[in-house]
Amino acid sequence: MLPLLLISIAIAPCSVLGLWPIPRNLQTGTTLVKLPSTFDIKVDVNNPPQDLLDAVGRTKSYLQTDKLQRLAVGRGANDSAALGTAPTLPSLCISLLNSAPPRPIAVEAVLPIGTRSEGYSLTVPSDGSSAVLTASSTLGLFRGLTTFGQLWYDNSGTTYTYQAPVKIVNDSPAFPYRGFMLDTARNFFPVSDIKRTLDAMSWVKLNTFHWHVVDSQSFPLDIPAFPELASKGAYSSSEIYSAANVKDIVSYAGARGIDVLMEIDTPGHTTAIAASHPEHIACNQASPWSSFANEPPAGQLRLASAATASFTAQLISSIAQTLPSTLFSTGGDELNINCYVRDPQTQADLSKSGRTLEQALNTFTQSTHKALTDLGKTPVVWEEMVLEHAVTLPQNTVVMVWISSQHAAAVTAKNFRIVHGPSDYFYLDCGTGESIGSDPFANSWCDPFKTWQKAYTFDPLANLSTAQQSLVLGGQQLLWTEQSSPENLDSIVWPRAATSAEVFWTGATLPDGTARNVDAALPRLHDIRYRMVRRGVRAIALQPHFCALRPGVCDLHA
């Protein structure tokens, strides 16, 4: 009867507690398998790229240092007796499915959106033979290594899994874009914080770091062709991302399967440029700021000025050409019309050219986007550029929907590809009060706090036709940092930002055929949160430890 028992286990789909995002197909058993001290990961790849070898090394290190006990009463103590006779897994063998020369993970990670190969297959047997991981690319192997690393727990120094055999076939993302955005202009974040965030992103298979690097409050980005922007626009000389820092961050991200999408928001959110180039900024520091901007300080690029348009195009080109990503964002949100109405130079430029403000905005945007398309880059914009302004955009432009999830239909109706980042689901800073002073009763504009449960219920295809659904690239959660800094970065982002990782990797359906739901997600989200903490990310608790050890006991009607 033993062979029949093993067969029934192997075909019964269930969820391995620690896997996040859960694979789109998954078969597991109930056998304990342990790793011997001689366990190794064997790379059967001709001339393996160094970043693949480094990823293997990190995986082996995590296996040795995670020391995460099972989230169960007793922390897995009941497994101790059975572990003595449990089969061992001698090795994990990884290989590519094609014979083409392998490309580095970092190269695969920045291929045009929709062309990246992130799929993998993984088998972890329970009979003492080796585990096998295969993929069509080094990026896929990296995703599989991430899954493999989440299977293991510690029991008195023994590293083991308790749900072997594990079989995952052709696990690949439901959506090609799975991101996280960090604003580094309102408050500065050292490179070490960004790298730690990139690590955590990679552990849940997020693949795009949207870097909102500059804004009205500060310009911390050193662009070699425009050194004055950072030297005069940053908060201090120690709060600047040098060209070397940018290269380091991009390289670090790429090795972890992450594309860096940089944003230079224009023509709004640009007051910091006035510190070095006041001639390009309208209503600089105008008061009251609320009449000229969505938040202080007021100031926008003089979009009707040919000189300003040329300056901006050169600025964007100078930084974009140093980045490997095919995507680059020019922003375009929250344009304050009153600023331009009240700016004498803008009005004079409009009068001289015989253009309306919208026509001038179109010319300005055409200029900045040409700077990108000349480099082979794809422009990314916020939704206002499509829904509020008469701007002609390249049809391949990627539009970020942020004001409301209800706006996705209107953008896709214009046949633009979208990235979901709606404030009503994915804004991590909502519900934490207001950064504006002199108002003791102020709340954030996007209250309430966006819980992980709220984010997890998001439906990327809601209210979209079949044709419109094909335009959805994926989505991201975002951290605007008016009230965030290195001190609370980890706790406000993790594990909440991991929810969209599963929404856009796994899709609507869990591997057992049921709809994605918060009840099934919570025990696994607990698990990845505890693993993040073991790896040095100060992710916040979701429940009391008592509840985490007893899935379902703390449910509302338990």
Write down the pLDDT at residue 5.
Answer: 33
Query: What pLDDT score was predicted for residue 15?
Result: 54
**Cα–Cα distance list, 210 to 138, 181, 281, 450, 510 (Å):** 23, 4, 25, 20, 28
Burial class (CB in 10 A: 0-12, 13-18, 19+), 4: exposed
Q: Residue 441's pLDDT is what?
A: 85
- Give residue 557's pLDDT: 85
CATH architecture, domain defined by 2-172: 2-Layer Sandwich (3.30)
Q: Where in the chain is the domain with CATH 3.20.20.80?
A: 177-481
Coil, strand, or helix at residue 1? coil
Per-residue buried b or exposed e for 61-79, using 16+ beta carbons within 10 Å of the residue's own CB: ebbeebebbbbbeeebeeb
**pLDDT tens figures, 12-60:** 344 578 999 999 999 999 999 999 999 999 999 999 999 999 999 999 9
Contact (Cβ atoms closer than 8 angstroms) between residue 419 and residue 398: yes
Closest CA to 253 of 70, 130, 108, 89: 108
Buried b (16+ CB within 10 A) or exposed e, 361-398: bbbbbbbbbebbeeeebbbbbbbbbbeebebebeeebb
Q: What is the DSSP string of 345-371?
A: HHHHHHHHHT--HHHHHHHHHHHHHHH
Give the burial class of 352: count Cβ atoms within 10 A of its Cβ; 0-12 exposed, 13-18 middle, 19 or more buried: exposed
User: Which residues are CB-neighbours of 548 under 8 A, at least 6 positions away?
Assistant: 71, 523, 526, 530, 541, 542
Q: Among this protein's residues, is 279 annotated catalytic?
A: no
Q: Could you give the CA distance from residue 180 to residue 313 in angstroms, rounded to a whole number?
A: 26
Options 108, 118, 279, 334, the catalytic residue: 334
Q: pLDDT at position 8, please?
A: 31
CA distance 294 to 435: 12
Tokens of 385: 């550029």
CATH number of 177-481: 3.20.20.80
Residues in the chain with pLDDT values less than 70: 1-15
Q: Which regions of the chain carry the CATH code 3.30.379.10?
A: 2-172
Q: Do 104 and 50 contact (CB within 8 A), yes or no?
A: yes
